[in-house]
Structures are given as structure tokens and as C-alpha cells.
Amino acid sequence: MANVHSNISFALVNIPVIMKPIIRNNDTSFNQLHDKCHHRIKYVKYCPYCKKDVKEKDVIKGYEYEKDNYLIFEKTELNKLKLINDKEIDVVAFVALNEIDPYYFEKSYFLETENKSKAYNLFCEALKKTKKVALAKTIIGSKFYYCILRFIKSGIIMTTLYFEEEVYLPSKDLNAKANETELNLAIKLIESLSGKFEPEKYKDEYQEKIKEAINDKLEGKEIKGKKKSPKKQVSDLMEALEKSLRKK
């Protein structure tokens, strides 16, 4: 996604911003090739009813309301359903961040100020002082979102949220009970493994192997996989906890 010019609407205050994605995909990209000639495969839209290829201009959208029956929506009809003010990030409330469970978080963007905006700086300072996040609504592309705006040292991060109907969690309570001795050992094990979250330490091991393999193949070397030695399983929970603590 390219940078998008937008606008935070906070009551009667308007704050111009540039929305920049902060996440980039680090996966190594592979193309699909024909095994026979090693040339790239093309995907063609094909109609099995007419038995012919279909051009992009001849593709329309339909909603299947029952098996093989569709409601046809013209582009002009779908355009009428688009929401207005799609360039705005409209603040609707201010809430505590800990009220929002992280499983609602989808994608994050950095909202950069335009021309050292005084209103932007004021908004940042207000979020910092109140220790609140702004709950807002906006449109990205053609999709409607609710999102939160939160202050970090370098500015404002906007994180889009999943809707409640998009999140599935079992409704039944766990009602977990544990043996006191086993629980104390588990707590000791957790304490022995406790530390700080330092994201720079955690590397994508699979992608590092892929890049290493690409270099090896370019140099004509054989790719050799490493076998992982299986962990010895301990079936008795108490014994497993005690051995884990001794090993730590």
C-alpha cells in the first residue's frame, strides 16, 4: 500500500496526516513456473459455461443468494453504497488501551504530520497526558474500519480493528483447577524464563534459511537440511516440571 494523505477529524479540529504502513512482508517471493520449460505461468479468467477465456471488462459482481442463483450488482450500484468522508479518520471516543484485547488488532500505520502541524503536536500531547487512545472510524481502500490512534515517542500509530463478528472465541468458561504443588512449580518455571520483549533478537529463521539456500544454489552448492533431534517427552506432569526447572 502506498502512502495515503488523510485527515484526523477531532471534534471541530482537522489534522492533516500521511498514513504510512509500518509493516513490510519479509517473505521470499517465488514465482510459479511450468516444469517443462521453466517459464512463468499466467492465470486466465475462464468461463466453464461459455467455455472461453473472459476479459477483465466482461467481469461483473454477483451475490449468490441460493445455489447457482446470483444477484447482479453493477459498478454504479456499488458506488452508491460507498461511505462519504472516506479520507477522514473520524474520532468518535477516547478509551483506555487495556480495554481493547489485542486479538482485535489488525494492521498498523504511522500517521505522520504534514508541515509540522501544531494541531498534530497538541493531539499527541493530549493523548500522552490523558493516557487514552482515540477510537475512530475510517475507510482504507474500499473497506470500512474502526481503529485506534495511540501516542508513541515518534508520533501517532493507527491500528485497524477487527469487528466483533469477525472474531471467534469459545463461549464456554475454562474453569481450570490445578494441583497446588504443580502450580507452584509452574510459576517458578515461568519466573525462571521471564525477561523483556526485545523484538530485535527474534529473527525469521525460516526466511534466513531460504536466503542462505538461494545463495548456495547460485554458487552451485547442494542444499542440505538439518535434522532436528526430537525432544524427550515426559508423561508425568510433576516430573516434567521438576526436570524443566533443574535444566533451567
Question: What local confidence, expressed as pLDDT, does residue 86 receive?
Answer: 64
Once rounded to an integer, what is the mean pLDDT over residues 193-209? 87
Question: What local confidence, expressed as pLDDT, does residue 114 receive?
Answer: 76
Question: What local confidence, expressed as pLDDT, does residue 37 receive?
Answer: 94
Question: What local confidence, expressed as pLDDT, does residue 237 receive?
Answer: 76
Question: What local confidence, expressed as pLDDT, does residue 242 receive?
Answer: 81
Q: With 80 as the cut, is the pLDDT of residue 115 above it?
A: no
Question: What local confidence, expressed as pLDDT, does residue 85 receive?
Answer: 60
Mean pLDDT (the chain, rounded) = 88
Q: With 80 as the cut, is the pLDDT of residue 116 above it?
A: no
Size of the chain in residues = 248
- The percent of residues above 90 in pLDDT, for the chain, comes to 47
Q: With 90 as the cut, is the pLDDT of residue 131 above it?
A: yes
Q: With 90 as the cut, is the pLDDT of residue 224 above it?
A: no
Once rounded to an integer, what is the mean pLDDT over residues 109-119? 87
Please tell me what DSSP assigns to residue 221: P
* Per-residue pLDDT tens over the stretch 136-195: 999 988 789 999 999 999 999 999 999 999 999 888 877 778 888 888 888 888 888 888
Question: What local confidence, expressed as pLDDT, does residue 248 receive?
Answer: 65
Handedness of CA 33, 38, 39, 44 (dihedral sign): negative
Amino acid at 233: Q
Question: What local confidence, expressed as pLDDT, does residue 142 receive?
Answer: 79
Once rounded to an integer, what is the mean pLDDT over residues 5-24? 89
Angle between the 180-192 and 237-247 helix axes, to the nearest 10 degrees?
A: 30
Once rounded to an integer, what is the mean pLDDT over residues 1-11? 83
pLDDT band for 18, please (50, 70, 90 cuts).
very high
Once rounded to an integer, what is the mean pLDDT over residues 89-103? 95
Question: What local confidence, expressed as pLDDT, does residue 245 receive?
Answer: 79
Annotate 74-133 with DSSP letters as a single string.
-HHHHHHTSPS-TTEEEEEEEE-GGGS-GGGEEEEEEEEESSS-HHHHHHHHHHHHHT-E
Q: How far is CA 123 from the centre of its chain?
A: 26
**Cβ atoms of 119 and 14 closer than 8 Å:** yes
Burial code (b: 16+ CB inside 10 Å, e: under 16) for 160-183 equals bbeeeeeeeeeeeeeeeeeeeeee
